[in-house]
Chains A and B, each alone.
Chain A
Amino acid sequence: MSKLLSPAKTEVLFMGNEAIARGALEAGLSVAAGYPGTPSSEVIENLASVAGQRNLYVEWSTNEKVAVEVAAAASFAGLRSMCVMKQNGVNVASDFLLHLTASGTRGGMVLVSCEDPGALSSVNEGESRYFARMLEIPLLEPANFQEAKDLTKWAFELSEKIHNIVMLRSVTRMSHASGNVICGSLTDKSRVARFVYDGPITDPLRGPVISTPVVAKHRLQQEKLEKAKKLFEESPFNKYFGPKKPQLLIITSSVCFLYSQEAVSSLGLQKRAGILKLGCTWPLPERLLKKYLRLTDKIMIVEEVLPFMEESVKVLAAGMPKEIGLKTFYGKIDKTLPAVGELNPDIICAALSKVMKVKCKSIPAAYVKGLQKAAALIPPRDQTFCPGCPHRASFWSINTALKRDGREGFVCGDIGCYAMAALTPAIGFHTVRTLHSMGSGTGLACGFAKLGAFGFDKPVLSVCGDSTFYHAVIPALINAQHNRADITFVVLDNAGTAMTGFQPHPGLTTSAMGEAVPAVDIAQICAAIGAKVAISDPFDLDGTSKLLNSFMEQSGSLNVLILRQICALSPEKKGKKKFEMRVDEALCLGEDCGCNRLCTRIFRCPALTWDRTKKKAVVDEVICAGCGVCSSICPQKAIMKTEVIS
């Protein structure tokens, strides 16, 4: 039996995302949709894994906006539904969300946004809490694993009480951390999907679901928010821990609550500092805050990343000076806490020790010196493409083609593992010169390609992965064709959403729930747009780079090269070597080869290492994936491959 379906009252170790999924199941969820993105993906994955047993419909949608639309339809039909994404996804979905929050929802609907303070696995540390304010919807933030489940369940109830979508925000350190959770019971839902639309336009529960008449619906939306605020006043998810008369009040939410707790106890401040943990962070429960703001004149607000709560608390405080008195606020605005990056118990300890004038516990200086000396001896370990990764080979060919072309062309990058090509030392050369949001590489390439009239004469390439292609690249490609932007567009097709763990996408023949579905073919889409399309195996370095050069030479057309090779970590490939690799020591000339060690300085496969005593290249067979690509980069033909007969 899946852990996710553990019986009520059992205690299990759940990842934050599993707890969210369990909470949704306990709430009687019917439909869930999302787009993969770290750290959110496991919510949909877990729900998909039990879809059959719980009569759920779960899908990976083409992008986050579609995911919200799919989930909203279920809500309109009276079912409970959820849409799940990382912070960037909320940006993508925001256009529909702005209308949805105005039209309102019917069955309980929850938007889960898993964010990434510190950008541990993102190219930004954007915040979606401000969306809750802009969309005028309630925002909930679980502060531990039990709450991740309980708050999710409650979010559905809240949504049904106010007839609007509720946003639940998690962060990497919650979604990808694990802790004990006591399960509640799994309700047997018996809702039938029924969409009622023949009532009057002014009746959001029986009429058509639309955002007009705008002002009337907007008023109604704000009344819903007021109602949520009233419920927040009484919510057990907002709770104070601490003495009756603290010298300092810490207001915090999410995983920062756990950090704050730890910092307070490690400084021994339990009798001097109190913590007001808020699970309901927008709109702020005013009466509750008034009650606790009164306790002391020193207030510290601990949150990630931007001062969202801090601003809201200050606005509230400004409206009640007589009741609560003058306050000194500590937080991000006065720089007591860092304004960027993620927090941890140490950062909060340091801030608290300053504000409360106490010393942090320290380790003997001599020992610390020893640690520092040891740290100086170890090499950094940077991210790189995995051994056997098709992207390393693809960028190798792109680099070769750009060099041969000689006009200083460059690549507009996109979001996926291949974004690493923008970083040294992932690979020993640079080709990727821009990197932004999903699909924006090709849009930027269109723009660069139209700068010819202003003296711009470099060839422009853009790349994207297969999943990204469906998500956001198609409009940019059509734009390129329609506006005659001369670009060469390379699809790095590794047959799955590799970076987030191989979720299926429209190019594959299985759905999130494991059903057989028709594959949507990238080549045919590109051809239908009017592009010249070629397909190549990125492991064929010579053929691939030659194709690229022929594309770059042709002007006046949109060119698409699809590079197909399955990701090295994919379940189909993992642990299966196609070739046994060996460096022939007699042939390897080492530093004298004149190649400046192409193999180990430029290509940089982690499995192709350098023997410092012999001064020769050597394959580490424990990590080598047996892709065989390195054998074609060595000018001496010293790297030998033998096919593995299975």
Chain B
Amino acid sequence: MKHCVSNAKLHSKVYRGGKEEATLHAPGRQQSYRVIRRGADNAPGIRRAGVANKGRRRKVAWYKEPMNIIITGVGGQGNVMASRVLAGMLVDAGYFVTIGETFGMSQRGGSVMSHLRVSSRCALSPQIPQGRADIIVALEPVEAIRVLSKYGNPAVTVLSNSRVVYPIGVITGDFNYPSLDKIKAIFDKLTVRNWLINATSVAVEMGNPVLSNIVMIGALAKMNLLPIDRRAFEKEITKNMPADKRRINFAAFDAGAKMV
């Protein structure tokens, strides 16, 4: 049964579920919107990514098909924006991206989480199955563990901000917040690689704590696990942001890249 239609033209190699190294087409000089032919077999629900991707190739250190990324944090930390920017870059690079998000009530100081599914073959469900995250990006450290405890597996990578936002239950004294050392120890034990960086302090130095989401994206790009880079970021920001806000975002991205 062809639940997913693969397209050998898009990638020289596609691995299904493995962790092997694959060569991928990276963001290149293609136009910002790609033209897609719709063939007879393009029924609703199944669609070929029939793109002649002429972009330059870039080696990605570690990639699997599909790639499951979770961006988590506390409402108000810029979670949604981070996931949109990242997804925009990946769509531009020729992938099917599904972002699963919930916003509304959960935004009001609660935990928030965006699921990003990246596939070269088809649109995936907006919810990552338990134990299947490949990369967790956390804007707040206990949120990294919260997501890890549900979606973690021995091959997961974690990139976490170290700036703590105390939950109400901790402020009232009903619950304890683990120390950063303890958090780091948990990461070391349960992830294949992890980084705990103080993105918020860099963002505060730059004048706005909310930039920490972009600092994290910069760090993520530098980790070389995804086909995204500074150029792709520039393009995405230029497309979506007024000119006066771009420079500070580029600076935040660069600052993040220096932190890993």
Contacts and interface: CB of A to CB of B under 8 A. Distances in A.
Interface of A: 6-7, 9-13, 38-39, 120-121, 143-147, 150-151, 172-174, 176-180, 182, 236-237, 239, 241-243, 255, 257-259, 261-262, 264-266, 270-271, 273-275, 277, 279, 344-346, 349, 363-364, 367, 370-372, 374-375, 377-386, 417, 420, 425-426, 428, 499-500, 569, 575, 597, 600-601, 604, 606, 608-610, 620, 622-623
A383 B175 CA distance: 15
Can you list the 10 inter-chain pairs with the closest CB atoms, starting with the nearest?
A: A121-B104, A10-B33, A379-B175, A258-B125, A177-B126, A375-B149, A38-B104, A270-B1, A381-B167, A383-B110
Interface string B107-142: 011110000000000011111011100000000001
The interface centre, meaning the residue of A10, A243, A378, A610 with most chain B CB atoms within 10 A of its CB, is: A378
Given A143-B45, A241-B45, A378-B145, A262 B124 contact: yes
Interface of B: 1-4, 33-36, 38, 43-47, 74-76, 84, 87-88, 91, 96-106, 108-111, 123-127, 129-131, 142-143, 145-146, 148-150, 152-154, 163, 165-178, 182, 186, 189-190, 200, 204, 208-210
Nearest to A142: B44
Contacts of B88: 13
B166 A377 contact: no
B1 A241 contact: yes
Nearest to B166: A609
Nearest to A270: B1
Nearest to B169: A379
Given A143-B44, A259-B125, A609-B170, 6 more contacts: A13-B84, A147-B44, A367-B153, A379-B167, A425-B174, A606-B165
B252 to A, nearest CB: 15
Contact of A382 (B152, B167, B178): B167
13 contacts: A11-B33, A120-B102, A143-B44, A143-B45, A178-B97, A178-B98, A239-B43, A241-B46, A374-B145, A379-B175, A381-B167, A606-B168, A622-B163
Nearest to B129: A345
Contacts of A623: 76, 165, 209
A261 B174 CA distance: 42
A270 B129 CA distance: 18
Contact of B36 (A182, A258, A279): A182
A173 B127 contact: yes
A236 B38 CA distance: 14
A174 B127 CA distance: 11
B209 A622 contact: yes
A261 B167 CA distance: 37
Given A179-B98, A241-B1, A346 B104 contact: no
Contact of B34 (A11, A367, A375): A11
A455 to B, nearest CB: 37
B99 A177 contact: yes
B33 A6 contact: yes
B156 to A, nearest CB: 10
A365 B228 CA distance: 34
B1 A242 contact: yes
B44 A386 contact: no
A351 B94 CA distance: 34
Contacts of A147: 44-45
B45 A144 contact: yes
Nearest to A600: B171
B3 A265 contact: yes
Given A279-B44, A379-B169, A385-B108, A180 B91 contact: yes
Contacts of A146: 44, 47, 123
Contacts of B4: 261, 265
B51 to A, nearest CB: 8
Given A371-B148, A377-B178, A379-B175, A120 B33 contact: no
A609 B165 CA distance: 9
A173 B168 contact: no
Nearest to B153: A363
Nearest to A370: B190
Nearest to B186: A374
Contacts of B76: 386, 569, 623
Nearest to B66: A262
A9 B36 contact: yes
Contact of B126 (A173, A364, A575): A173
A266 B129 contact: yes
B171 A609 contact: yes
B26 to A, nearest CB: 18
A379 B166 CA distance: 9
Nearest to A263: B129
Nearest to B1: A270
Nearest to B83: A178
B152 to A, nearest CB: 6
A383 B98 contact: no
B154 A363 contact: yes
Contact of A349 (B129, B168, B209): B129
A6 B31 CA distance: 13
A180 B169 contact: no
A606 B166 contact: yes
Contacts of A242: 1
Contacts of B173: 597, 600-601, 610
B186 to A, nearest CB: 5
A180 B172 CA distance: 44
Contacts of A144: 44-45, 123
Contact of B108 (A11, A344, A383): A383
Contacts of B171: 600, 604, 606, 608-610
Nearest to A238: B44
A457 B170 CA distance: 38
A258 B146 CA distance: 25
B68 to A, nearest CB: 11
B99 A606 contact: no
A258 B125 CA distance: 5
Contacts of A600: 171-173
Contacts of B106: 120-121, 383
Contacts of B210: 575
A619 to B, nearest CB: 12
Contact of A364 (B105, B111, B154): B154
A377 B179 CA distance: 10
B168 to A, nearest CB: 5
A122 to B, nearest CB: 8
Contacts of A150: 44
The interface centre, meaning the residue of A177, A266, A500 with most chain B CB atoms within 10 A of its CB, is: A177
A34 to B, nearest CB: 16
A371 B149 contact: yes
A177 B172 contact: no
Nearest to B163: A622
A381 B170 CA distance: 9
B255 to A, nearest CB: 17
A377 B104 contact: no
A344 B154 CA distance: 22
Contact of B103 (A176, A275, A426): A176
Contacts of A385: 108-109
Nearest to A13: B91
Given A12-B91, A258-B125, A345-B127, A375 B104 contact: no
B109 A10 contact: no
Contacts of B149: 371-372, 374-375, 378
A12 B102 CA distance: 20
A36 to B, nearest CB: 11
Contact of A384 (B1, B38, B168): B168
A445 B250 CA distance: 54
Contacts of A177: 98-101, 126
Nearest to A173: B126
B3 A241 contact: yes
Contacts of A609: 166, 170-171
